[in-house]
Chain A
Amino acid sequence: MTIIRRGTMTAAVMALGLTLAACGGSLTQDGSGKDDSDTIKLGMLTPLTGSSAAIGPHMKDGARLAVDEINAKGGIDGRKLSLTVEDEACDPKTAAAGAAKLVSAGVRISVGGYCSSATLPTLSIFEKAHIPMIIPAANSADLLAEQRRNVFLINGTGIQQAQAAAAFIKAGSSKGVALIDDNTSYSTDITKRTGDELGLLGVKVADHQSVTAGESDYSGAVNAVLGSKADFVYWTGYYQEGGLLIKQLRAAGYKGRIMVADGSVDGKLIEIAGKSNVQGVFATMTQTPQTIPGGEAWVATYKKKFGSEPGPYSTQAYDAVRVAAEAVRAAGSTDGQDVIEALEQIDGFEIFSGPLNFTLQHTLSVGGFDILVVEDDDFVLEK
């Protein structure tokens, strides 16, 4: 028995060695070779399941609209764009697997990324495959901390949002501000920076609360806010918890102003909080077609094509595809290095947030955060 087994083992090891020698090439080199196919493959990671599943379809449709428009005009140098979408589920492990799937599918440029904590582990996967990332939504400063050359953010960053929020809060608060986050990467980033900005402006931060995402009772935070006598609440988490928080604040008799950050700008917020509770609630948000003069035409096209209103990040996803296409056109190839250089040199390309130039950190040079306010069933621009 032992002899037989030793024999099989030796054979197996030899077979292994032979195969290793035969196809060693693919084990030592990275997948990206010369790309001369006639399609330019774009990949997108976006939440299609999980807590932020509502966002995925908006981003997917926004990107698809841009792909179809560019293809209708003949593509880039005669090459058509194609879009592959994978689920990130707002979960790091799912996102990493999704990123690997995109790399294996031969994607050349990534135009996805919604949840910052789920996008973090995908950075190295795309970097190793020499794939530039144009991230439409995720905007935590952590994404830039390692200064990877392939990472570009086209959403306003936490700093830009905090500056816009602090300026508005200064004008609207007299007694003090309560900052509330949900302890996720994205949310604490904004509260921390808003607190710093408010300090510079000389506004008193009366209270800073962190709630746990996914709970249904926020009376602890609500009572703390009421106790702190703050007359302005800034919520920086997502809409699910934000809706409940607003509802419970109002039910407890809080009369002051409330503002939410961009993760809460969704119709669902109004639904969860109740229409009457949410009237007059402010929001910090990047420009959307609904708030941009002349954006109505774009919204009409979108509605005609997909049968629904564009949602949060539809425009950023749309822009990400256009920026990717522009970079490929300027570079004349889909080689990762060439595209990265082209992206760094983009000068004044028009996107929804204004003319695009990347800073040295690969973020937008003009922030473009607006203050919105809830009127009836919609977020409209605050005048």
Chain B
Amino acid sequence: MNDESTLRAGEKPSVYVSAVEGRTPTNIAPSVTEAGASASSRTAVAELVSNSLASRCLGTGAAVAALALPLVSSSTYVIQIAVDALIFVMLAVGLNIVVGYCGLLDLGYAAFFAIGAYTSGLLSTRFGWPLVATVPVVVIAAIIAGLLIGGPTLRLRSDYLAIVTLGFGEIIRITANNLDFTGGPNGLYGIPDFGDFGLRADIALYWITAVVVIAAVLFSSRLGRGRIGRAWRFVREDEDAAEAMGIHTYRVKFAAYIAGAVFGGIAGVLFAAHQTAISPPSFNFLWSALILMAVVLGGMASTPGVVVGALMISLLPELLRGAENWRYLIFGLLLIVVMVFRPQGLLPAHPGEPRRRGRRAREGTS
């Protein structure tokens, strides 16, 4: 790895190094635990603690704020757009697994969202299932759809994958539009909610959504930090190198794709419960593009970034409601401004992992 020629100009070696190190942590672990607390390592540790504490506190703070929102303002409008925003966050962190972690460009992500919404909508309106009972079926349906579409396409690379997923997104929407079973262009209506638990119905749904979405955000960020997360990042940076290092790239990409599909499907259930009526135009290409935009705008592979990006994409058009015809123009301009000044996203991901960096610093001094 020290040979400069193996690294192309502008690429960060840290990702390679950390991914390789991640496979053999035992080699350095003893030297870390036994190393004396020198001055520089102390600052490194302090930095590490404050970093992780800051992000943890921020995360906890955001979660508490999300849960406490109805106590601050319980107006129907605030709750309505807050649920919209949370569902969008769920979609964005789901797509982040596919695009951000693993680097697979998926332009048809709304398809999984549609599959989730339609599966739960059909089971609950046509067969009278309670909405909670539809969740396992939705997960299975999303996995099957992920297998069907991912099976052949994940062997493709970059542009080809984008084209196939784009087609898949349109196929699902147009199929829903043309089948009588799915209500055709009228869609499904009269979808029940999860129950009100003695609260106002929309607030009960808000809390359910908030809990599910917080869990999803946590889960996805933990996934990204684990062994599989490192493999994803390795595949994203250089698929050939990853394969050469012994990572089963096809299987790893499949895992990312299926995880994304399940996130999308569950977000679809929440959307169906929230809207009570779903129709094909709700799952058009614009949606896939907006979710992707949330991921890119926030910062690919960075969970806090993606959450902020998703909140921005879903709330800005609502907050600009007063501007009527101008609102999408202003919205577009704001997005361009953000991308000009923050090309890596609002809160870009750190290359490599902070813990590994700290360890390397200590290793150097010991």
Q: Residues of A at under 8 Å CB distance from B?
A: 1, 5, 8-9, 12, 16, 19-20, 23, 26-31, 48-49, 53, 86-87, 91-94, 96-101, 103-105, 116-117, 120-121, 123-125, 128-129, 140, 142, 145-146, 183-185, 187-189
Across the interface, name the chain B residue whose C-beta is closest to A19.
B71
Q: Are A120 and B189 in contact (CB under 8 A)?
A: yes
Cα distance, A103 to B80, chains bound together (Å)? 11
Interface size class of B (residues with CB under 8 A): 35 or more
Q: Are A146 and B71 in contact (CB under 8 A)?
A: no
Q: Are A146 and B324 in contact (CB under 8 A)?
A: no
Selected contact of B185 from candidates A49, A103, A117, A145, CB within 8 Å: A117
Q: Are B76 and A92 in contact (CB under 8 A)?
A: no
- Show 25 residue pairs from A and B whose CB-CB distance is below 8 angstroms, ordered by the A residue: A8-B57, A9-B60, A31-B75, A31-B76, A86-B321, A92-B275, A93-B84, A97-B81, A98-B321, A100-B76, A104-B76, A104-B78, A116-B186, A117-B277, A117-B281, A120-B187, A120-B279, A123-B276, A124-B276, A125-B76, A125-B80, A128-B202, A145-B189, A185-B279, A189-B186
Q: Are B186 and A185 in contact (CB under 8 A)?
A: yes
Q: Are A101 and B186 in contact (CB under 8 A)?
A: no
Q: Are B184 and A101 in contact (CB under 8 A)?
A: no
Given A117-B279, A185-B185, answer yes or no on A100-B68 (Cβ-Cβ < 8 Å). Answer: no
Q: Are A146 and B198 in contact (CB under 8 A)?
A: no
Q: Give min CB distance, B346 to chain A, whole Å.
A: 23
Selected contact of A142 from candidates B186, B203, B282, CB within 8 Å: B186
Q: Give min CB distance, B94 to chain A, whole Å.
A: 18
Cα distance, A23 to B76, chains bound together (Å)? 16
Q: Are A117 and B186 in contact (CB under 8 A)?
A: yes
B325 at the A interface (CB under 8 A): yes
Contact with A along B55-89 (1 / 0, CB 8 A): 01100100010011011001111111100100000
- Other than the given A16-B68, A120-B186, 9 more pairs (CB < 8 A) read A5-B56, A12-B60, A12-B64, A19-B68, A92-B279, A100-B76, A121-B277, A124-B276, A128-B201
Cα distance, A26 to B178, chains bound together (Å)? 43
In B30-67, the 8 Å CB interface with A consists of 49, 53, 56-57, 60, 64, 67
Q: Which 3 A-B pairs rank lowest in CB-CB distance, beginning with the nearest?
A: A100-B80, A104-B77, A120-B277
B134 at the A interface (CB under 8 A): no
Residues of B within 8 A of A28 (CB): 198-200
Residues of B within 8 A of A185 (CB): 185-187, 279
Cα distance, A49 to B320, chains bound together (Å)? 12
Cα distance, A97 to B184, chains bound together (Å)? 24
In B264-288, the 8 Å CB interface with A consists of 274-279, 281-282
Residues of A within 8 A of B167 (CB): none
Q: Give min CB distance, A310 to chain B, whole Å.
A: 20
Residues of B within 8 A of A101 (CB): 77, 80, 321
Residues of A within 8 A of B281 (CB): 91-92, 117
Selected contact of A48 from candidates B68, B177, B185, B325, CB within 8 Å: B325
Selected contact of B186 from candidates A23, A26, A100, A188, CB within 8 Å: A188
Q: Are B321 and A87 in contact (CB under 8 A)?
A: yes
Residues of A within 8 A of B70 (CB): 27
Specify which of B53, B68, B77, B201 lies most central, judged by the most chain A CB atoms within 10 Å of its CB: B77
Given A104-B76, A185-B279, answer yes or no on A53-B325 (Cβ-Cβ < 8 Å). Answer: yes
B327 at the A interface (CB under 8 A): yes
Q: Give min CB distance, B343 to chain A, whole Å.
A: 29
B363 at the A interface (CB under 8 A): no
Selected contact of A26 from candidates B74, B77, B84, B282, CB within 8 Å: B74
Specify which of A20, A49, A129 lies most central, judged by the most chain B CB atoms within 10 Å of its CB: A49
Q: Are A146 and B199 in contact (CB under 8 A)?
A: no
Residues of A within 8 A of B282 (CB): 91-93
Contact with A along B290-328 (1 / 0, CB 8 A): 000000000000000000000000000110010011011
Q: Are A49 and B77 in contact (CB under 8 A)?
A: no
Residues of A within 8 A of B203 (CB): 27
Given A20-B71, A128-B202, answer yes or no on A184-B185 (Cβ-Cβ < 8 Å). Answer: yes
Q: Give min CB distance, B179 to chain A, whole Å.
A: 12
Q: Are B200 and A27 in contact (CB under 8 A)?
A: yes
Selected contact of B276 from candidates A29, A121, A184, CB within 8 Å: A121
Residues of A within 8 A of B81 (CB): 97, 100
B25 at the A interface (CB under 8 A): no
Q: Are B187 and A117 in contact (CB under 8 A)?
A: yes
Cα distance, A124 to B190, chains bound together (Å)? 8
Given A184-B185, A185-B185, A188-B185, answer yes or no on A96-B275 (Cβ-Cβ < 8 Å). Answer: yes
Cα distance, A123 to B56, chains bound together (Å)? 41
Q: Give min CB distance, A169 to chain B, whole Å.
A: 23
Q: Are B80 and A27 in contact (CB under 8 A)?
A: no
Q: Give min CB distance, A32 to chain B, whole Å.
A: 10
Cα distance, A187 to B185, chains bound together (Å)? 9
Q: Give min CB distance, A60 to chain B, whole Å.
A: 11
Q: Are A146 and B177 in contact (CB under 8 A)?
A: no
Cα distance, A121 to B184, chains bound together (Å)? 16
Residues of A within 8 A of B275 (CB): 92-93, 96, 121
Q: Are B279 and A188 in contact (CB under 8 A)?
A: no
Residues of A within 8 A of B185 (CB): 117, 183-185, 187-188
Cα distance, A9 to B63, chains bound together (Å)? 11
Cα distance, A16 to B281, chains bound together (Å)? 39
Residues of A within 8 A of B78 (CB): 104
Cα distance, A123 to B189, chains bound together (Å)? 10
Q: Are A8 and B325 in contact (CB under 8 A)?
A: no
Q: Give min CB distance, B336 to chain A, whole Å.
A: 19
Q: Are A8 and B60 in contact (CB under 8 A)?
A: yes
Residues of A within 8 A of B274 (CB): 96
Q: Give min CB distance, B269 to chain A, whole Å.
A: 16
Q: Give min CB distance, B267 to chain A, whole Å.
A: 13
Cα distance, A5 to B61, chains bound together (Å)? 11
Selected contact of B64 from candidates A16, A120, A121, A187, CB within 8 Å: A16
Q: Give min CB distance, B355 to chain A, whole Å.
A: 15
Q: Are A97 and B64 in contact (CB under 8 A)?
A: no
Residues of B within 8 A of A49 (CB): 324-325, 327-328
Cα distance, A125 to B274, chains bound together (Å)? 10
Residues of A within 8 A of B53 (CB): 1
Across the interface, name the chain A residue whose C-beta is closest to B190.
A146
Residues of A within 8 A of B279 (CB): 92, 117, 120, 185
Q: Give min CB distance, B62 to chain A, whole Å.
A: 12
Cα distance, A53 to B81, chains bound together (Å)? 22
Q: Are A183 and B321 in contact (CB under 8 A)?
A: no
Cα distance, A163 to B321, chains bound together (Å)? 40
